[in-house]
Amino acid sequence: MLISLLALPLAAASTLPTFQPRDTPFAALFKRDGPVPDPNAPDFASHYPPNWKTPNGTTVPQAWKDKLNSIQLPANNPVATKSQSNGGSGYDGIDKGGNNPDICSFTWGCIAKSDFFEAPNGTWLLNFDDGPTQDSPRLYDFLRSNQIEKNATHFMIGSNIQSWPKTMQEAFNQGGHIAVHTWAHPMMTTLSNEEVLGELGWTMQIISDLTGGRLPAFWRPPYGDVDNRVRAIAKQVFGMETVVWNKDTNDWKIGTANTTVDSVDEVMRGFITGPKSPGIVPLEHELNNNTVQVFLNSYPLMKENGWTVLTAPDAYGLQWYQNANGNQGPVLSAMNVGQVQTALVASASSANPTSAVPSTGSASVAANATGSAAAQSAKTSPSTQQGNKNSSGARLGVSAAIFLPALALLL
């Protein structure tokens, strides 16, 4: 078995199916009875939890709970409260709050070693949150017309996919990289373990169903709200890497508090014409017409300034999905979800997230909006660990071709 799997990169194209039957044993975690739900069928939505509600325990498959019970969560892993005045996550009674190294909340400005936070020098990690929406097709048209449709990561909301499955498939079919942005866009650190399972797992499930069985390998926490407990569930239960950002465009604020398309264009111009070291992981959205317009306005300058625009996995030399290295070609027929990516990345970064950023203090967080507080802190914080990680020749130089044999060794 091992020998045949080691031959996978050469033999795969002709011996493995491109699209995987739903009942293959690649992941007991995502195996469900019956055919893959048809996005054209009127009952499509009924195969998934209710729209825009955090899936509760009754919808969480036992396999996910069993996997959760089999992993070791960080020792100090409280569920955050929404006690702060801005609605941000709070950790009452804990020394340093979210900046306690055991907790390491990005909302509080703490970046874990395992977080994808910066891009390699000269790289603009092209990514859009909150899709698919009714305004996504306009973005997709633009990406296609500029021949960068295969260079974008789309962090998608499960509930939006449930509402616009074919728009999601448009992004996939044109070559975009699909990743997870939770089911109902909550502050993840305030959820119970089971709710975190539901938010991540169901979004993976609907993406897998609509992409021929591909299992997402990357996710972005809404508002950047992630701590070590949530990171551990994302990675150890579901095998996903956490992607945050080092530049917040604030496009999500357009229409409020003196933020306009023009003012965000100006912010983008600053990023694009600014330093290329480190590279940029922006926070941008395919949320509405305005956020899409900002990218349309900004891309010509990005091109003119010589940025290399890449998906998240291509920026870091990783596989696109846990069981496939692209939107076409083979999907591995067997794998152990939640262990593969961890092992792949372990050689280049720590498996144990710890604080890499000095405390910003809860007072400064409370004075800012939730998402921007993290971004502001992230932008101005020294990021030694991340700098090492992302500038590592070993890590970035590893080609996707050698990941498949590595994967086979783990089966």
Of 130 and 135, which has the nearer Cβ to Zn ion?
A: 130
Structure tokens belonging to residue 115 = 């977080």
Q: Return the range that interacts with Zn ion (CB under 5 A); candidates 44-52, 54-62, 125-133, 303-311.
A: 125-133
Of 158 and 279, which has the nearer Cβ to Zn ion?
A: 158
248 is a contact residue toward Zn ion (CB under 5 A): no
Interface with Zn ion: number of residues (CB under 5 A): 3
Compute the least distance from the CB of residue 287 to Zn ion, in Å: 7
Q: Return the range that interacts with Zn ion (CB under 5 A); candidates 21-29, 124-132, 191-199, 401-409.
A: 124-132
The residue assigned the tokens 């000269």 is 122
- Of 120, 158, 222, 353, the residue at the interface with Zn ion (CB under 5 A) is 222
Q: Return the range that interacts with Zn ion (CB under 5 A); candidates 123-131, 186-194, 322-330, 378-386.
A: 123-131
The dihedral formed by the CA atoms of 194, 359, 89 and 217, expressed in degrees to the nearest 10: -40
Distance CA 345, CA 18 (A): 25
Catalytic residue chosen out of the listed positions 154, 181, 185, 285: 285
Q: Return the range that interacts with Zn ion (CB under 5 A); candidates 52-60, 129-137, 299-307, 360-368.
A: 129-137
Count of CA atoms in the C-beta half-sphere (13 A) of 325: 17
The answer to whether the peptide bond before residue 278 is cis (omega within 30 degrees of 0) is yes
Of 98 and 222, which has the nearer Cβ to Zn ion?
A: 222
Of 237 and 283, which has the nearer Cβ to Zn ion?
A: 283
**Of all residues in this chain, which one has the CB nearest to Zn ion in the complex?**
129
Q: Return the range that interacts with Zn ion (CB under 5 A); candidates 14-22, 216-224, 349-357, 360-368.
A: 216-224
286 is a contact residue toward Zn ion (CB under 5 A): no
Helix axes 403-410, 8-15, angle to 10 degrees: 90
The burial class, CB within 10 Å (0-12 / 13-18 / 19+), for 346 is: exposed
Compute the least distance from the CB of residue 13 to Zn ion, in Å: 36
DSSP 256-273: STT--HHHHHHHHHHHHH
129 is a contact residue toward Zn ion (CB under 5 A): yes
Compute the least distance from the CB of residue 260 to Zn ion, in Å: 20
Catalytic status, residue 154: no
Compute the least distance from the CB of residue 222 to Zn ion, in Å: 4
**Among candidate residues 387, 385, 367, the one with its CA nearest the CA of residue 377:** 367
Q: Is 115 left (phi over 0), alpha (psi -120 to 50) or beta?
A: beta
Structure tokens belonging to residue 123 = 């790289």
Catalytic residue chosen out of the listed positions 102, 115, 129, 314: 129
Kindly report the number of other CB atoms within 10 A of residue 11's CB atom. Answer: 13
Compute the least distance from the CB of residue 97 to Zn ion, in Å: 23
Compute the least distance from the CB of residue 104 to Zn ion, in Å: 20
Of 219 and 403, which has the nearer Cβ to Zn ion?
A: 219
130 is a contact residue toward Zn ion (CB under 5 A): yes
Of 281 and 344, which has the nearer Cβ to Zn ion?
A: 281
Catalytic status, residue 129: yes
The answer to whether the peptide bond before residue 132 is cis (omega within 30 degrees of 0) is yes
Share of the chain residues as helix, strand and coil, in percent rounded to the nearest 5: 45, 10, 45
Distance of CA 116 to the CA centre of its chain: 9
37 in Cβ contact with 44 (< 8 Å): yes
Of 130 and 195, which has the nearer Cβ to Zn ion?
A: 130
Compute the least distance from the CB of residue 185 to Zn ion, in Å: 6
Binding site for Zn ion (CB under 5 A): 129-130, 222
Catalytic residues: 129, 285
